[in-house]
Amino acid sequence: MKKRDVYKRQAKVLKALASESRLMIIDRLGRGECSAGELTALVGSDQSTVSKHLAVLRAHDIVEDRREGTTVYYRLLTPCVLDFFSCAARVIKERS
């Protein structure tokens, strides 16, 4: 693959994560599966807003969902996204 395309794909992943709300969701899912409802309460935005954030994460194969009755449970599909937290923490620490 061309190097340019690699940058493009990496930028897409970063964009999918670059949101305060989505980081909250990912951090929570890093501690285990969780329903959309709980995530909505956690983030504190409108239910539709959180659902859209979840759609973004799904579209990027960062999370996957599982329906059980009327409840939809989400979990991390690529747990290594959690590594970004330590990276970001290092950056924030290093520059301050």
User: Among its own copies, DNA, none, what does residue 80 contact (CB within 5–8 Å per kind)?
Assistant: its own copies
User: Among DNA, its own copies, none, what does residue 32 contact (CB within 5–8 Å per kind)?
Assistant: none
CA dihedral 31, 69, 43, 50 (to 10 degrees): 120
The span from the CA of 81 to the CA of 62, in Å, is 8
Query: Binding residue for its own copies (CB under 8 A) from 46, 49, 61, 71?
Result: 61
User: Among its own copies, DNA, none, what does residue 33 contact (CB within 5–8 Å per kind)?
Assistant: none
